[in-house]
Amino acid sequence: MKSYHKELWLQIPARMDFVNITGDVERALQESGIQEGLCLVNAMHITASVFINDDEPGLHQDYKRWLEELAPHEPLSRYQHNRTGEDNGDAHHKRQIMGREVVVAVTKGRLHFGTWEQIFYGEFDGKRKKRVLIKIIGE
């Protein structure tokens, strides 16, 4: 069995946004040479997420509104975590809802997606560099 990994570095200018990283993951898969196996894509920061869904702008706006309703950024005093000097208590909750990672099957050298599926990086406490791990195993 072969193993390959690559790290992506992202710096999102907005506090919350979603970035389609499917092309980056596909390039890493090509670089790996793996034809059959599994691909893990993992947000390596506790205020960011990786998830799979449709690349439709209205859906992304709905997510932003829904997440802000569930875990609003302000008032900062809402979160015990912010009493440590942080201001990102909401971002930890948003990450928990959206998830840490995804695993996609690799079949015949391609990501084996369902209809409309794409991989997204979700940022909930932006404006600084964060990384995403791509780990591919297989033959």
30: CATH: 2.60.120.460
Model confidence pLDDT, tens digit, residues 46-61: 999 999 999 999 999 9
Domain region containing 133? 2-72+87-138
| pLDDT for residue 139 | 98
Q: Report the predicted TM-score, pTM, of the whole model to 2 decimal places.
A: 0.96
Task: Using pLDDT thresholds of 50, 70 and 90, give the confidence band for residue 111.
Answer: very high
Averaged pLDDT, 91-119? 98
Q: Does some domain include residue 111?
A: yes
Q: Does some domain include residue 101?
A: yes
Q: What distances in angstroms separate CA 57 from CA 7, 12, 18, 53, 62, one per listed residue?
A: 26, 17, 10, 11, 9
Q: Does some domain include residue 66?
A: yes
Contact 33, 138 (CB under 8 A): no
Averaged pLDDT, 4-13? 98
Q: How many domains would you assign to the chain?
A: 1
Task: Using pLDDT thresholds of 50, 70 and 90, give the confidence band for residue 136.
Answer: very high
Q: Does some domain include residue 77?
A: no
| pLDDT for residue 52 | 98
Count of H-run helices and E-run strands, the chain: 3, 8
Q: Mean of the per-residue pLDDT values for the chain?
A: 97
Q: Does some domain include residue 81?
A: no
Task: Using pLDDT thresholds of 50, 70 and 90, give the confidence band for residue 65.
Answer: very high
Q: Does some domain include residue 80?
A: no
Residues sharing a CB contact under 8 Å with residue 127, sequence separation 6 or more, in sequence order: 11, 12, 13, 14, 15
